[in-house]
Structure 1
Amino acid sequence: MHSIGEMARDSGLSVSALRFYDRAGVLVPAWVDPVSGYRWYDPEQCDEARLLARLRRAGMPLADIRLVLAGWSSADTDLVRGLLQAHLHRLERGLSDARGEFSALRAALDHRENPMTSSLRTATARLSVSAPELAAALDAVRFAASTDPELPMLGGVLFDLDGEDLRLVATDRYRMAVARARTAGHGAGRAQVTVPLPLADAMRALLGGEEPVRLTLDGHRVALETGDRQAAGQCLDHDFPDYRRLVHLPTGRRTLVDVAAFRKSLATGPVRASEVRKQDGTAYDLSVLQVADDGTVTVCEDGDDDRDHIAVNREFLLQALTAGARAELILEFGASTAPLVIRRPDDEDTLSLLMPVRLED
């Protein structure tokens, strides 16, 4: 007999997915321990699990998967071939429809003008900013920047200047970080540039002193000067997403955590079997969190799948805690489908958002 962990490793399905398919009656364990509830599988079921994983990656509905598995076990090849062919035709029709919709969207984008964004990117601003504050802001957001070549508009740090407030923003879709630094010398008006990551890193390397530095944004070029040293270059020629729409979330349950203790519980606590991100095939470990009535945050044991728990990429959460740069941080929990928000108690405008991961396949 194979344990559920062994079945997950050998089949490519996660432990949580195997539990889901058991509850759905798609792949039922050969035996369940009546005392512990632990699931055990016959070795022959591993082939079925691998087949199930392939069908789910191909997007086949569960109702059809049940029939495919039944036909597979009974060697009813005509049934299996018919179901596979029907699903392939559905995918082809869906792809054709999607191509048509995307073609219409691209045409709409080609004809759409955004005067506000254009004016923000071409506005010129010269200002003074505290070197320690700018360094801290870069450190707080750098971890969330994207390195995906398919999304070049996310491959940098947004510098969003509004009056005397400078906000730095980075996102890779799965997480987002926002930090603020105060400025002087700019006054009213708003300007935005997206600084490529190599240039942002070069700027950070100059921010070792305590004196204010000079920052110039002109829409196409950005320059940071300190003393006789300068880091300057072209900005990304892409519009950054409107991050302000993404940070307005319903108020969730808030709790203050000791970062050192929480990091230890994450590093040594249970994790789910590695999930694989569908967009890029990247494997990662999940930590599943719950909040008690007294505000205590617990890393759940494998098998604890309450709907109110939130699952997040453990590495991303550890990076966000480091970027928070405080001994204590506020964790804000909404619904299990809402982002986990990490805030500083003394500066709630500096925050990180982590997108949750569905536990059930």
Structure 2
Amino acid sequence: MSTCEHDDEPFLTIGEVARDSGLSASALRFYDRQGVLVPAEVDPSSGYRRYTGAQVRSARLVAGLRRVGMPLGEVALVLEQDARGQVSGAAAVVAAHERRLEEGLADARWEIRRTLALLTGESVPGVVRVAVMAPALARAVRCVRFAVADPEGAPVVGAPGGADHVVLTGVLLEMGSSGLRLVATDRHRLAIGVAPVVEPSLAPQDPTGRVVPTAWLDAVVAASARDDIIEIVLHEASVEAFAGGARLQSACVPGTFPDYRPIVDPYLWSKPEATIDAGSAGATLHAGHHVDADGLAALVGAHSGRAVLGLRVQDGSVVLAQDSAAADVHVDPGFLHEALVAVDGPPALVLDGPVRPLAIRGADGGFSVLMPVAQP
């Protein structure tokens, strides 16, 4: 050990620090040049570097962090926080690097599985993947976002299919060869959005679904540029998306999503009618009648503060019923307004009687149904 002293503490030579820390002398010189671990003193005549005993601990930190690939800037930040006694701050930087390593390992494993599948001609087990254009996904999310259940709502007891309130706070993603379908419901309204797949050959023939957090979907849309192709991958209990150069991952929402098909299939596959007989305006509506509702959103919005709104068909159009008893169907005006503005293009209403759900269809494939409310 050198006999030179600094504040009554003997200095250590670069060789001694190298021996005690596991870093080579050349590495210590490099970290000095980079300003990460600067020696306490440099002899002006010989250029010899001298370190304090406390710097051995810093050198050991540098050695360990560099072995796990931490960038130099973050290594310097850890040393700075440690020198100030801010252990929690230094630990947070290390923990963040650990998360990146774990995500990188997951990416590497996925790529290896995908590469092996390509080599062998087999599918990757337990994994489903589709690719969609960012604008199409954004439209589909907008079509369903208003129908997601409020996380603060009370749990649903005895719900069909064993679903609880938590699962309704997410959005069902269904992947199939026909496209990516998004479904949301709070049991008062149900909405569907569809995004065509870019590579149909990669989508499963049989629809495969997971319930994903709404916040994750919002983050995927926010991270995407207009011309991005978004890759969505469903795992057994998690989902990930590659959008805008970012990888966004989340656990799926636990629970069983309600079986929505019996409700929507009669409306999805019913054939539109060009007009409605004016004589049926005051009578019971027949199943599958489609009425152009262009301009209805502004009209309903003006009455959104009311508890109940009555609608009736008149001369092939939907109008507000001045007399509640003359209405063909009663709806929540706030719910109807949200559904009308969520779809792109002129919406059409599908009417099937006063006690059947009221369906709203958009030109872009957006679709929702509202449960009617009791006549006031």
Select 2:194's aligned residue among 157, 161, 180: 180
Q: In the alignment, which residue of structure 1 is the partner of 2:308?
A: 286
SS in 1 for 2:337: helix
Is 1:337 the equivalent of 2:352? Answer: no
Q: Which one has more relative contact order, counting CA pairs under 8 Å at least 6 apart?
A: 1
Q: In the alignment, which residue of structure 1 is the partner of 2:220?
A: 203
Select 1:245's aligned residue among 242, 255, 262: 262
| 1:270 to 1:202, Cα distance in 2 relative to 1, 3 A | closer
Q: In the alignment, which residue of structure 2 is the partner of 1:128?
A: 131
| 1:153 to 1:271, Cα distance in 2 relative to 1, 3 A | closer
What amino acid is the match of 1:146?
A: A
Q: In the alignment, which residue of structure 1 is the partner of 2:324?
A: 304
Q: In the alignment, which residue of structure 2 is the partner of 1:234?
A: 251
**How many residue pairs are counted as aligned between the two chains?**
219
Measured in 2, the distance between the counterparts of 1:350 and 1:181 equals: 10
The percentage of aligned residue pairs carrying the same residue is: 30
Measured in 1, the distance between the counterparts of 2:337 and 2:208 equals: 32
Measured in 1, the distance between the counterparts of 2:228 and 2:301 equals: 38
Structural mapping, 1:33-72, within 5 Å: none
| 1:356 to 1:217, Cα distance in 2 relative to 1, 3 A | same
Measured in 2, the distance between the counterparts of 1:199 and 1:220 equals: 14
Runs of at least 4 residues off by over 6 Å: none
Structural mapping, 1:1-361, within 5 Å: 123-147=126-150, 148-150=153-155, 151-183=165-197, 184=199, 185-249=202-266, 251-258=287-294, 261-269=295-303, 285-292=307-314, 294-301=315-322, 303-306=323-326, 309-326=328-345, 328-344=346-362, 346-347=363-364, 349-360=365-376
Deviation at 1:187, TM superposition (A): 4.2
Q: Deviations over 1:130-174 (max 9, x none)?
A: 111111101110110101351112110100112242110000000
| 1:265 to 1:234, Cα distance in 2 relative to 1, 3 A | same
Give the unaligned 5+ runs of structure 1. 1-121, 273-284
| 1:139 to 1:268, Cα distance in 2 relative to 1, 3 A | closer
Higher strand share: 1
Q: In the alignment, which residue of structure 1 is the partner of 2:62?
A: none
Measured in 2, the distance between the counterparts of 1:304 and 1:174 equals: 21
SS in 2 for 1:357: coil
Deviation at 1:271, TM superposition (A): 7.0
Kindly indicate whether the alpha-carbon contact (under 8 Å) linking 1:123 and 1:191 is maintained by their aligned counterparts in 2. Answer: no
| 1:123 to 1:288, Cα distance in 2 relative to 1, 3 A | farther
Kindly indicate whether the alpha-carbon contact (under 8 Å) linking 1:163 and 1:187 is maintained by their aligned counterparts in 2. Answer: yes
Q: In the alignment, which residue of structure 1 is the partner of 2:10?
A: none
Kindly indicate whether the alpha-carbon contact (under 8 Å) linking 1:269 and 1:299 is maintained by their aligned counterparts in 2. Answer: no
Larger radius of gyration: 2
Give the unaligned 5+ runs of structure 2. 1-124, 156-164, 268-286
Q: Deviations over 1:225-275 (max 9, x none)?
A: 1242122110011111111122023733211122xx322322335975xxx
Deviation at 1:322, TM superposition (A): 1.0
Q: Deviations over 1:22-80 (max 9, x none)?
A: xxxxxxxxxxxxxxxxxxxxxxxxxxxxxxxxxxxxxxxxxxxxxxxxxxxxxxxxxxx
SS in 2 for 1:249: helix
| 1:227 to 1:204, Cα distance in 2 relative to 1, 3 A | closer
| 1:193 to 1:356, Cα distance in 2 relative to 1, 3 A | same
